[in-house]
Structure 1
Amino acid sequence: MGDIHRILDVLNTSTQRSVLATIIKVTGSAYRKEGTCMLLQEDGTQIGLLSGGCLEADLAVRVPDVIREGISRTIIYDMRAEDDLSWGQGTGCNGAIHVLLEPVGQHLQEHLLTLKNFLDQGIPVTMLKKLTTDSSVSDYIFCSEDDQFFGEWNGEPPFQIREFLSDAEQTGLHHGMHFFPDLSAFVYIQHFHPKPRLVVFGAGPDAKPLVSFAAQTGYSVTVADWRPALCEETFFPDADQILVGLPDETIRKLQLSERDSVVIMTHNFQRDREFLSLLLNRKLGYLGILGSRERTSRLFHGTDVPDWIHSPAGLAIGAEGPEEVALSILAEIIKTRREAVTGKVALQCRT
């Protein structure tokens, strides 16, 4: 999930010429889906993956030509054949993948860094790229959630595109190709969202692997605890933010929303109860509590634990030790987030 954020971070500091590769269409099944992107730099460095390793070598060979010519193009990889000479190389992926290759020139880089700025501020952005009959990009435009436009588009975007952009959130996460009659052309559409945030209340030793794994998976991680001795940056080098303070102090600073996932793991019963009481009336994407269901019930003074609270936090995989527990919790957070998106799209399809 974090490839685009890693790519934008690299573009923000790198002076190398590079090519942005994006899956814009999948027919059948494939390892990665529409919207997956990677950056291929002139020195051979690659950020992200489009496949399980089947395509990257061929894409790297094409980079010098794309940079030299300065023209985007779409390459189709048919992964459906199962012989060793095909792109599927015996994997039987059963899909054809359309990959858009774009040289990252000065203007595109500037617009991608503008995209980064919006995402860093927590503002979602929708991108549209108009394709020619030979599947190169002729125009592109970005529109932020607060209706700011930037990009390179010839003339005013037609009403049909403006109507789509105004409904971007309601139309769901439908990355992919759409035909616009007003343009007599296909347009590739992609939605970019800020990094999901994980807030970990509790800075004990068992929080360290959870913070590290979540950061590697693309989450922006905040750690909060009232004990200064536990909140050293050296303990949590992957955290984006470390807050020291009592529960009411730290929660006031966080501006939590339904985009956030929260785990309570202080190992202090009274502090857990304080955190829980302050979080119960907030809309969160995930709220998990470390410890047994019986302990969580005691946090609720013996009453039933609401179904939406994950207790004990983590998928039931028989986890042992901090690392396995961290993996089970992160897997449940990802699962919950994916199901929320799937449910939203399914509801839209029924209306």
Structure 2
Amino acid sequence: MFDVLHVSSAHPWTDVRVHQREAASAAAIGYRTGLIAVARQGERRDPHWTVPDEQTGVSVRRITRRPRLRRILVSSLQVITLALRTSAPVVHLHDPELLWAVPVLRLAGRKVVYDAHEDLPDQVRGKEYLRGGRRTAAIVLAHVLVRVACGSDRVIAATPVVARRFPARKTTVVRNLPRVRAHDLGTELARAPRAVYLGSHSRDRGLEALCAIADIPERTWELVTAGPVEHGGHRAAFDELVRAGAIDHRGVLHPTDARNLLLECRVGLLPLRPTPAYRTSIPTKLFEYMAAGLAVVATDVPFWRELLAGVDCVTWVPADDVTALAEAVGRYMDDPDLAVAHAGAGRDAVVETLRWEIDEPALLAVYADLLGGAPLDGLVAPPRS
């Protein structure tokens, strides 16, 4: 039925890395590609496989969204059962909660690829709600899961730092970089005085800072956001600012609509707090902002500065410094020529070195190795009944 099957019990089926980049790349060169992932809010699950997605050519099976505990206990078993019912020789897993299935899938004769999106032990260390014995147990479990992941046939790591956790001989770095759209390259860089934040809204992702700059009196520029908003924390304050019109929140958008929203804005915001996981991550939103032709205001993280060494496209501000964040945004609004210069430099850098098409061949080489050749070589097995 499939040559490559991507599986997630946590990510929505529209996830940019999982579907729009990795699965779509496999489908584009002829691999029969499937995806099991989570239905978005308000969507219904699929009782059967859908026809291939019109944009990507990937066949999708959506499962029900569940709360965290039920997701771990129910959804993880459900997606692995569905994967085993297919004849896909390569199963590409995307969640730590699915690592228990690595030996199961391998015993069933499947080649297993584990996609390490983040450094799991560092991610756990950054969870402030974990205390004492629970924190210690969670860190130990994270290291155990990394060891289990090492039993996969291949590991795809989102960053070189993540890759260090796994055996070099079976690990390939595939960075989470944006695709370059021809439409983006033809857009004007002189934009309306509008700042945008795109992505999950949470404390670690700077929700408190967004609320603070939205509440600035006599602000002369618009603040637009899109993405899911976590419960608790500053959710109530955020919702009140949305009701008051201080924040134009567009909700959860399809990836294409989200990319199009960026084209309406002048400045992209990345106020993430430097948690252990974020300090060594490659923030895909940073490069999506750059690809769309935005000047960027971002938390001053040394690793991110290193990624953009020699590219003058970002104003770096100290973590949790709302005043510095607001001043940086205001500078771009008051000086549109500076915004255009930084936007142009960022877009050029993405086109030259920081786009998905640079890393895509490394991913496809992994599939070709596991399947015995690329589909265009005629080496992939014919369709199965």
What TM-score results when the alignment is normalised by the length of structure 1? 0.31
Higher relative contact order (CA 8 A, sep 6+): 2
| Larger gyration radius, structure 1 or structure 2 | 1
* TM-score (normalizing by structure 2): 0.29
- Greater per-residue helix proportion: 2
